[in-house]
Amino acid sequence: MNPVTLAAAGLDTGDTAWLLAATALVLLMTPGLALFYGGMVRTKSVLNMLMMSFVSIALVTVVWLVAGYSLVFGDDGFAGLIGNLHHAGMAGIGPGTLTGSVPTLLFTTFQLTFAIITAALISGAIADRMKFAAWLVFVPVWTLLVYVPVAHWVWGPGGWIAHSLGALDFAGGLVVEITCGASGLALALVLGPRIGFKKDAMRPHNLPMVMLGAGLLWFGWLGFNGGSALGANGLAAASLLNTLVAGSTGLLGWLFVEQKRDGHPTTFGAASGAVAGLVAITPACGTVSILGGAVVGLAAGTVCSYAVAWKFRFDYDDSLDVVGVHFIGGVVGTLLIGLFATATMTGGTEGLLYSGGPGQLARQAVAVVAVAAYTFLVTYGIGKAIDKLMGVRASAEEELTGLDQTVHAESAYDHGVLGHAASQTPAHQ
């Protein structure tokens, strides 16, 4: 996804049309995520969950256009760590400016949709208990201090992970999945567990909503990964098919574990397994064969189905399994590039199982550790700073009553009206 690797060329209308469609698909993922998360929480916090995703669209858009894009994709400003501010406020970029064969304004928007959903994903780890005002402060600060530097390291001109280390991340295993997972863990530790964690049942309140959200995520993921080829070409087609295959094997792997462990394959497991497979194939979709994609998805679905239970063992309240699915899935997919990368997809780099030696696997591991450590430490610092400034945790009364009523003065389901209407219906029609 690094525009520097694209040959300078004139505008290609086919590439542009595909990236326009892919951008719309990726933007749809954030409302899809809102439904996915909204269905997973209890009825008293549905709207708050939806709002945390939707407001991320607005907040990240402003930050990205003011400074984010320039700091990620501007010329390297310091030792591969950050770009410059020459394009702050989108200065110097107009309708005729190209990145490769597509308008730079379109490339900017496509990249913006990635930043949006990464921030929104973090909200799943702290569901039910974070002050909405604190979230409004956290998102823009986090975007500038965490997402922007990591994206530059991996995709920016001169970024050290891509250009000095040589690690591969086609569509965001490091930039999106590992950052949101490590950040979710850090913020969950700052906030502490929900009231009743490990004692009260906290089941998803609306599984059809969860399945709908997962379906929209899967649909959008085709643009997320396929669009990262930045062209209407064979690489886009291969990435798109890898995405479909890995989501499928992830779903099957999770259901297999559920059936063997619990005796019941569940709809919640199907949705979670598909997402786990999609997470893992994100960094690898443009580097592995179709067989490799199937293995990546299966590995993620299996491993993540166990990883989601770690929060009970290690006593951290990752409410909606951002760590167990996105962090672990991102690690699985990023590391497996070192085993399954094939020259047919990468144009040169090969993994250990394709006679490439252990070097690429080592580079992938270094990138995982570096991104996870930086992200966790900075996010933890941001959370602590906001806590000192204004407090990050909702009050016990607000949490017990539900953030929908106490923060937004609304409810997702007006049971009183429904009950009244039912009481007025004649018993026999």
Tens digit of each residue's pLDDT (9 = 90 or more) over 1-26: 654 444 445 999 999 999 999 999 99
Does residue 427 carry a pLDDT above 60? no
Encoding tokens for residue 244?
Answer: 């479909």
Q: Please give the Cα distance from 219 to 226 (Å, whole number).
A: 11
Does residue 426 carry a pLDDT above 80? no
> pLDDT confidence of 47, banded at 50, 70, 90?
very high
286-319 residue pLDDT tens: 999 999 999 999 999 999 999 999 999 999 999 9
Percent over 90 (pLDDT), the chain: 93
> pLDDT confidence of 338, banded at 50, 70, 90?
very high
Does residue 71 carry a pLDDT above 70? yes
Number of C-beta neighbours around residue 233 at 10 A: 14
Contacts of 25 (CB under 8 A, 6+ apart): 219, 220, 222, 223, 224, 227
Answer for the pair 93, 284: CB distance below 8 angstroms, yes or no: no
Q: Please give the Cα distance from 164 to 327 (Å, whole number).
A: 24
The Cα-based distances of 108 to 115, 299, 315 in angstroms read 11, 33, 40
Number of C-beta neighbours around residue 271 at 10 A: 25
Residue located via tokens 């199982």: 353
Q: Please give the Cα distance from 346 to 340 (Å, whole number).
A: 11
What beta strand segments (E) does 79-205 contain?
A: 98-99, 102-103
Give residue 76's pLDDT. Answer: 85
Q: Residues 76-97: what's their mean pLDDT?
A: 93
Encoding tokens for residue 417?
Answer: 């009206």
Does residue 416 carry a pLDDT above 70? no
Does residue 429 carry a pLDDT above 80? no
Q: Residues 222-235: what's their mean pLDDT?
A: 98
Q: Please give the Cα distance from 279 to 334 (Å, whole number).
A: 10
Comparing CA positions, the residue from 184, 208, 49, 56 lying closest to residue 117 is 56
Encoding tokens for residue 223?
Answer: 């643009």
Q: Please give the Cα distance from 234 to 217 (Å, whole number).
A: 23
Encoding tokens for residue 152?
Answer: 């530059």
Give residue 234's pLDDT. Answer: 97
Q: Please give the Cα distance from 49 to 399 (Å, whole number).
A: 13
